[in-house]
Structure 1
Amino acid sequence: MIAQLVRTLAQEVETLNDKVADVDRLIEARFRTHELAEIVASMPGIDPLLGAGFIAAVGNDLADSSSPDGLAAFAGLAPVPHDFGRRNGNLYRPRHCHRGLQRVFSMSALTSVRCDPNSRAFYDRKRAEGKRHTQAVIALARRRLNIPWALILGGRLHEVAPPRPPVRFRIEIQATSLLPSRQTADMSTDVSGMIECRPLARIWGEDDEDAVWHAAIDLFLLNTGNAYDALACLFGVRNSFGFRPLTEDRGLPADASTGLRGAFNAWGLPQDAHGTTWITWAELAAANWDETDRSGTRSRSTVAGTGTHWAPVWDVMRTLGEVHGPEHVRLVVWFD
């Protein structure tokens, strides 16, 4: 009797598995006919079932999310603001989020670690920083969420570029220094950030309670390069070139917008980001772009001017500065 019962249960499980497989095939076939299927499926780690889950959650045009940060909060991958009255900058883990969308990016992040060298490199870097496996996967999922956003808005497929080789550099500290010595290290540096503006400051004055900063646009959507000579001359990061940086280590602005704080905190703890600083359009416009590095062979203009990857950033800041005033537009950046 027991053998017969086991055989019956096994047959029922096989029948259920067959039905699940049939449903999966129907979902995959329906996904293939969607206008965004090719774009979504071009991402490493996204199979047809996860792709269908993504489209079911966000729709056809991302109209319900104003930015990648909003989509990350919707998926439960970033803190959300909890402001009231004049108190702002309060963030907490979202209690309500789209579990299906969260599963899409968590599962695809796990898969991409095995099949995508760039995802693997990012995961390994987070683990080397002391992150637990779950923390590293969440950080990777949040980072990857920016990709379909940009692809769908741009109407293009994802192209897997080979990971940048680590850059070797040496930091030497005098024996008399009070700081601990550091050995040669291998790591790469990525820049993140956001443009902010303060619309009402020009009208009511900077001291007015309504003259607060607002997140304008994520740097990810504008700047597609992170050449180290540009980071050196602008922000003093990787400055082996001997540039005099325009801004360096100012930290996160105390009056940063809620959107900016959400993006910054999405990276994890404060120590996860370094070199955090900011600069206004007024300062950028007044800078000497002909100034060179130590060797005299590179100028600010040639490494970070209007003919480089930074041109779209300057165009947006210039336009916002013309509307709201150059001192009320700023770029905030941090590095990992």
Structure 2
Amino acid sequence: MGTDMDGRVQVRPGGPGTPWADADLDVGGIPRSYEAFGLLFGVRNVAGFVPVAPARGIPGDAGADVLAAAHRFDDHYEHSWVTWAELDRIDWDRPAPVVNAWLSRYRVTAGRLVRVGKGGWTPPDADPAEGAEWRDGDVVWRAERAVPREILDDLPELRHRLDGMRALAGKHGGDNVRMIVWFYG
């Protein structure tokens, strides 16, 4: 059994000091991605990212419906939140500080390597050096540091939510748009 994420995106249309309202962006529709969870909130951080917003809890002004949803089940944990202003400061091209615990998988296509994902195989070396490779037919596994932009490439559902938050921030300001999350499983 793995870990999944749920939550809400909220906007404060009137600016600071006014109530938050749920936006029409479903956080629960984002598929499981330990690299994304680690980058944003430090949960299941297989890539070793320095998380943007680890375990902040649910904000006190989130509203009764958010509090009820976040605590609906006993297995909800690692509650946190992050504003668009904080997300907007992520350097999407800066590699994680350490080699990813999950290997990158490439397929040899027309004589060149095409990245097709992560994980699914464990190398014989428990702690492989960056750049180490293993081949199995037309599949190449490589130990490398994760790059946040690759998360967005692999996870269009997250990209869609972040694009929605960016649009809301363009209208209301980056500190007036936030994602509140909790994890379960």
* Fold agreement, TM-score > 0.5: yes
Match of 2:28 in 1: 220
Q: Deviations over 1:194-229 (max 9, x none)?
A: 10011111xxxx23xxx01111133125x2x11211
Among residues 236, 260, 269, which one is paired with 2:42 in the alignment?
A: 236
Q: Name the CA distance, whole Å, in 1 between partners of 2:20 and 2:176.
A: 8
Q: Name the CA distance, whole Å, in 2 between partners of 1:236 and 1:214.
A: 26
Question: What is the CA-CA distance between 1:309 and the residue it aligns to?
Answer: 2.8
Identity of aligned residues (%): 33
Listed as ranges, the gaps of 5+ residues in structure 1 are 1-186
Structure 1 or 2, whichever has the larger Rg, is: 1
Say whether 1:335 aligns with 2:183.
yes
Compute the TM-score of the two structures, normalised by the length of structure 1: 0.39
**Partners of 1:214 and 1:258 within 8 A in 2:** no
Match of 2:86 in 1: 283
Question: What is the CA-CA distance between 1:313 and the residue it aligns to?
Answer: 0.6
Q: Name the CA distance, whole Å, in 2 between partners of 1:322 and 1:259.
A: 26
Query: Greater strand share, 1 or 2?
Result: 2
Listed as ranges, the gaps of 5+ residues in structure 2 are 100-143
**Partners of 1:302 and 1:308 within 8 A in 2:** no
Match of 2:119 in 1: none
Question: How many residues align structurally?
Answer: 138
Compute the TM-score of the two structures, normalised by the length of structure 2: 0.68
Q: Name the CA distance, whole Å, in 1 between partners of 2:166 and 2:13.
A: 14
Match of 2:58 in 1: 252
**Partners of 1:197 and 1:330 within 8 A in 2:** yes
Question: What is the CA-CA distance between 1:305 and the residue it aligns to?
Answer: 5.7
Question: What is the CA-CA distance between 1:307 and the residue it aligns to?
Answer: 5.9
Superposed counterparts of 1:159-170, under 5 Å: none
Superposed counterparts of 1:93-112, under 5 Å: none
Secondary structure at the aligned position of 1:286 is classed as coil
Q: Cα gap change, 1:305/1:214 in structure 2, threshold over 3 Å: closer, same or farther?
A: farther
Structure 1 moving runs of 4+ over 3 Å: 304-308
Superposition CA RMSD, Å: 1.9
Q: Name the CA distance, whole Å, in 2 between partners of 1:334 and 1:188.
A: 14
